[in-house]
């Protein structure tokens, strides 16, 4: 799978929701919802995120911000 930049996907190896930032060599470059360090995922290990998964990631980020855990 080579998802378009800006797409929300799930890295099935880690279960994390990420936003596609680009493609480098054989990898899909992902960034966590709300920012943070990018990571590389194998194209075969990503799938489109469901609406529920996107909402869960957004909620987790909002909660972390309210606790002062992220800038």
> Is the backbone of residue 47 left (phi > 0), alpha (psi -120 to 50) or beta?
beta
Paired tokens of 23: 């493609």
Separation of alpha carbons 21 and 5, rounded Å: 5
pTM value is 0.88
pLDDT in tens, the chain (71 residues): 789 999 999 999 999 999 999 999 999 999 999 889 999 999 999 999 999 999 999 999 999 999 988 86
């Amino acid at each position: 799978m080579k998802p378009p930049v800006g797409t929300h996907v799930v890295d099935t190896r880690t279960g994390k929701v990420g936003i596609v930032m680009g493609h480098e060599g054989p990898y899909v470059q992902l960034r966590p919802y709300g920012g943070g360090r990018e990571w590389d995922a194998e194209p075969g290990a990503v799938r489109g995120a469901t609406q529920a998964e996107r909402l869960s990631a957004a909620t987790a980020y909002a909660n972390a911000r309210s606790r002062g855990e992220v800038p």
